[in-house]
Structure 1
Amino acid sequence: MTRGSSRLVGDERGGVERWVVWLVALAVVGGLVGSVVYLDDELRRDSPGADFSVSFDSQTGTMTVEHAGGDPIVDRTTERLSLVVLDGSTGTTEEVVWVSDAPGATKRGVGYPVRPGDSLTIDDPRVDSDGDGSYLDAERSVGVYLESGDSVRVVWTGSMRGTTQTVTLANATLA
């Protein structure tokens, strides 16, 4: 009497197993390549490559900082984007937060992303530019009087290569 063979004709089961193994291997390689391509730019740079422009209107006492181009400021890599205003006559500084992950006036995610064309206007607390009796005429106010000779820095705090750092993205002097 002959015993039954455990081997299938053409060994279909082995072919299916090899196909599944190759498919899984291809998916793993594709995932690794995709993550390197997606994260590569962030792994090579210390901060976003963003440009900012600053304009000052001495009549209304307002300063506008605009994201003029480059990388958007995104929540994934940013802890805080702020403007540091230095009063040229007294030497005091005031920080105004544009976007931040920390709880407070700007909750997590509010204002993200900051893209090219987005702007933040800050006003001088002593000028009522629209005559409505309120001296808070812009999006935010700063505790110093804005005048020619004051300077502003756009400061980014975040992590693009695993360590948190603070980088000045732009400097300007009000004129």
Structure 2
Amino acid sequence: MTRARSGLVDDERGGVERWVVWLVAVAVVVGLVGSVVYLDDELRRDSPGADFSVSFDAEAGSVTVEHAGGDVISDRTTERLAVVVRDSSAGTSAEVVWVGDSPGATKRGVGYPVAPGDSLTVDDPSVDSNGDGNYLDAERSVGFYLEPGDSVRVVWTGSMRGTERTVTLANATLE
């Protein structure tokens, strides 16, 4: 009788071990399916669903663009995120690269990812806002004076579905 009982205990333990293995396998499959669903959702979109706010400080001669919510801009799908400022009086534009894949595109510690709350400040050469004798006080600069009526666009270039696209994520006119 002892032998039969020992076999019964071994069978129960084997059953428990099989259930544990089965549960771990199910958890792994569910995790993989969740990842595929997330990736599939990202691949179906043509560009990130990110919101940006633009604020103009006329006294400082600067524009601040802030990631105000939505998708994080990552290096996985992004080739370049730029701020394009158009001088309305001269009809010229300047592109300031926020982050990008090309060498030298990211400066002064600004890089991927660009997440909600991150910002980039661009100034013009008309105001020395901190009084240090250098009129270029922000992270980046344009070569013309920023004035009401100038426009600002946030432009994303990248690939979320295998083909490169350039999409304007935000538009603003300075007031």
Q: d(CA) in 2 for partners of 1:41 and 1:68?
A: 21
TM-fit CA distance, 1:105: 4.2
Q: d(CA) in 2 for partners of 1:114 and 1:105?
A: 14
| Deviates further, 29-38 or 131-140 | 29-38
**Partner residue in 2 for 1:86:** 86
Tell me which stretches of 4 or more aligned residues in structure 1 moved more than 3 Å: 25-32
- 1:61-118 superposed Cα distances (whole Å, 9 cap, x missing partner): 01000000111101101000000100000000000000001112427x9511101010
**Partner residue in 2 for 1:172:** 172
**Partner residue in 1 for 2:71:** 71
Identical columns (%): 80
- 1:131-175 superposed Cα distances (whole Å, 9 cap, x missing partner): 210011111111121111000100000011111100000000000
Consecutive unaligned residues in structure 2, runs of 5 or more: 1-17
Count of residues paired in the alignment: 153
Q: CA RMSD in A?
A: 2.2
**Partner residue in 2 for 1:148:** 148
Q: d(CA) in 2 for partners of 1:164 and 1:105?
A: 18
**Partner residue in 1 for 2:128:** 128
2:13 equivalent to 1:36: no
The answer to whether the 8 Å contact 2:98/2:110 transfers is no
AA paired with 1:65?
V
TM-fit CA distance, 1:36: 2.1
1:157-168 alignment to 2 at 5 Å? 157-168=157-168
Secondary structure of the residue aligned to 1:169 is strand
Q: d(CA) in 2 for partners of 1:63 and 1:31?
A: 43
Q: d(CA) in 2 for partners of 1:105 and 1:28?
A: 39
Secondary structure of the residue aligned to 2:43 is helix
TM-fit CA distance, 1:32: 5.8
Secondary structure of the residue aligned to 1:37 is helix
TM-score normalised per structure 1: 0.79
Q: d(CA) in 1 for partners of 2:170 and 2:106?
A: 22
* Higher share of residues assigned helix: 2
TM-score normalised per structure 2: 0.79
**Partner residue in 1 for 2:115:** 115
Secondary structure of the residue aligned to 1:96 is strand
Q: d(CA) in 1 for partners of 2:68 and 2:62?
A: 18
